[in-house]
Structure 1
Amino acid sequence: MTTSGDILKLFSKFSPRMEFSDSPSGFFGGLRAVFARLALEEEMACRADKLEFVGYPTFGSQSDNFEDVVRPFYTVWCSFSTKKSFSWKDIYRYSEAPDRRVRRLMEKENKRLREEGIREFNEAVRSLVAFVKKRDPRYKRGIQSEAQRRELLRQTAAAQAAKSRAVNQAKLREHVIPDWAKSEEAEEENPDSSGSELEQFECIICRKAFKSLNQFNAHERSKKHVKAVKQLRWEMRAENESLNLDQYMAPYSDHAQLEQCNDDSAASSFSHEESGKVQCGRTADADQNIAPIMEDTQEESGREFTEADTIFPVTHASHESSATILNPSGSDDVSERADDAVELLSQQMSTSALGQSQSTEIKKIGKAKQKRARKAAQQAQGQHPGLICTSCNAAFPSKTQLFAHLRRYDHAEPPIR
C-alpha cells in the first residue's frame, strides 16, 4: 500500500533537468505509473469493502489532447478522496480489552488514528497533483489556448452587439412617424390631461385640494369650512364699509342669498322633525321674521367675528335636551326648529340698535314661547297635583325630589301669610 510518506518522496525526483518524455524515468512516464498504481489501490479497497468505485482517469502521454485527457485528469484528481480504511494504523487489539469500557476507548483511539491517516494521505495526493499541474507543459498550452479562445469569443460577442446596436440606431434615425399616428397620440394625451383636471376639486377659501366630489362635499359640511366662510364674509363686509363700496352694489343682492340660505336651512331642519309638529304656516312666518333681521345685520359696523357669533346654546321648553344652533350664515349645521332659530337671531340683534319693528316681532315671538312654557308647566302640574311646594309653588315629578327640595331650602315650614 502506498502511504503519504511514499508520495512525499516523489517530490525529490523532480528537477529542472528532468526529461519531459514518456520513458519510465521521464516526466510523463513516471507520473503515469504513479497515478495508475494509486487508482488500482483505490479500486481494490472499494471491492474489499463493497463500496462504489470512482473512475480515476490516466495521466496520459506527452502528445495527448488537452480537452480529452489533460482537463479530465486534473478535474478528478484535484478533488481526490481515498476509499482506503487505513486499518493498519490501529495500535490496539480489541481482543485484549478486559471489559466493555476499555474496548470502547480502544475503538475511539483507533478511529482517531485512521481518520488522521486518511487526512494526511488525501493532502499528500492533492499536493502532488497541484505540483505536477504547475509543471505540466500540456496544461500550460491548454490554458493559453483556452484563454485565447475565451478572449476571441468575448471579442466576437462584443463586435456582434455593437453591430446590432448600430443597425438599430440607423433604423431609428430613418424611421419617420406618420402624421396620422401623431394626431392619435395627441388625442390620447389630451383626454388624460383634461380628465385629470376635471377630477381635481379645490376649496378656494381653505386652500385645499380634493380627489373626489364626496370629499369636497364633506369638507363643505365641516365646521372648519363653515367658520372660514363666516370669517371671510365678515372681512368682506368690513372692507366694503371701509371703502364705501356698499353704494355701488345692488341693495338686495345679499338679502336674496340670505333668504335662500334660510329657506334651505329651514327645509333641512323640518325633514328631521317628527310628523305633525311643524306646519307650512310656521315655515312661512319664520322666513318672514328672519328676512328683516338678516337685512339689519349688514347695517352693523365695526363688529368683529368671534366664536360667540357662530354658536348659541338653546334650551327648549319641552323635555328635550339642550342643543347648539348655528346662525343663518352656516346653513349646513342648522337642525332645530325655525321658530327657535328666529328667537336666537332676535336675541343676538337685540344688543345692537334695532328698529321698532324688530323689537315688536321679538316680543311677539317671546310671548309665544312663554305661552308654550306655561302650558307645559300646567300639564306637569296636572299630572302631579300633590307634589307642589307650598312655599315656592314648584312642582316635582316624585316625592324624593320634593323632600330633597324641602330639606335644602327649609320650605317644610308653612309660609307666613
Structure 2
Amino acid sequence: MRCYYELLGLERTATADEIKKAYRKQALINHPDKNPDQIEESTKLFALIQEAYSVLSDDHERKWESLLRDYDPSQKGKSDFLSVSDLLRFYSRQCFTDYNDSEKGFYSVYRDLFVKIDTEEKMSLEIDSESLQDELPDFYTFGNMNTEFEPELQSFYNRFLSFSSIKSFKWFDEVNPMSVQDRNFRRKADKHNKKVREAARKEFNEAVRDLAQYIRKRDPRYKKYMVEQEQKQEEQKKLAQERLLKEKQARLDQAKAYTVQEWAQVDSESEIEEIFECVVCDLTFDNPLKMERHEKSKKHLENVELLRQEMEEEFVIQEPEPEIQTFECKVCDKVFSKQDQLSAHNLSKKHRNQVKQSKSNKPDPKQDTQATEKLLENLDSMGLEDQEIKESKDIAEGSVKTKKKKNSSGISCNTCKEGFPSRTKLFEHLEETGHARAVPVPTKSKKRK
C-alpha cells in the first residue's frame, strides 16, 4: 500500500499549506491531459493523488493515516478477531478498484468488511461468557450501488457511527491471575487486565466509527442523497415564497374590491376641515406634515423654551431650606460636615498648637467680666432680647450644633449695620472692632443680673 506522504513528496510534519502546494504540483504533473500517452496509468495515479490530498487535509483522517504507518500489531493481543491494524488497511483508496459491484469494487469490499464485523460480534455473544451484552442490535447490510440511502442505508450508518463492541477483549490480558494463589496478587492482576481491556475496546470502537465516517464521506449514494436533500430544501423554500406572494396578492385584490357602504360615506360638502394649531407660536396649519415640520423648526423650539422659563418663574415654589448639621472647632474657627473630619482635625498638630496658643493668650477673668458687663449694657440699649449666654466647655474640644439658615438682618451692629446669625458672632464683632464703645448709652438701661 503506497504511503500518501510519499505520493505527494511530503514529510510527516508537513503543514496544511505545504500539503496544498504539494498537491497542486503533483496534480499538474500527473494530470491525464498532461500524459496523453499513458492515460490509463495517469488516471489511476491522479485518483490516488486526489485521495491523498483528501485524507491529509482532514486532521481526523490524517491521524488514521499516521497510525496505519506506525501501528505494530506484534505489540497487541493476538486473536482470530479483527484488530485495529486490520481496519487501518481500509482507510485507503487503494483497497478497492472502482465504485462498482465488482469483486474488488467499493461496495463489495466494504460490504464484506462490515459483515465480518457483525459476524464476530455474534460469535462473541455465543462463545464468550464475558461478553458485555446478551443481544445485538439489528444489522443492516451495506447494500450495493443501487441501494437507496433511505431507509436501510441510513440505518446502517447510524449503527456503525455509534458502534460499541460487546467483545470482552480478554486476549489482551497481560497477567494471568490464576498463575499465583495469592489473593491480593490476583485482585491486582484482574484490575490491571480490566484496564487493558477497556483501552483495547475503546481503540477498536473508535476505529470502526471513524471508518464508517470515512466510507460515508466517499459513498456516492450518500453524496446523491445530500444533493437531493438540498434540492428539496430549495424547492420548499421556493414554494413558501410563492405562497407568501399569492397571499399578499390576494390581500391586495381584496382591498381593491372593497366598496364603502352608503351609510359610511360622507358628502364632501359636509366634511369638516381639520385645523392644526400651534398654541405656543399662535399659528394654524391645514396639514399634519406642515405642523410636524413647524414643531421641529428653530423658532418654535425657542418659543417653547421661553414659555417654559416663564412658567417656572411664575409657579416656582419656595421650599424651606433644609437644616444642615455641621461640626465646628471654635479654637481654629473651622466648620466640618462630618464628625470624623472634626475628630481627625482635633488630633492634628496644627490644632494642638492653636489650643496651646489660645491658653497662653487667655485674658484675665476679672477684665473679661467687666468687658462683658459693658457689652450687655450696650446690647440692652439696642433693644435686643435678653438671652442666656452659655460658656463653652473644654476649649480643646469642638462643639456640635445644628445650623439653621436664618435671615441675617435679624441681629445687626448699630454702628456699621452688619448683620450676624447669632449673638455670639455679634459679641465677637463688637470685641474685635470696638463698635460697642461708639454707641451712645441711653439714660435708662436694664442691667443683666
Name the TM-score class by shorter chain.
Answer: 0.3 to 0.5
Higher-helix-fraction structure: 1
Question: What TM-score do the two structures reach when normalised by structure 1?
Answer: 0.40
How does the TM-score come out when normalised to structure 2? 0.37
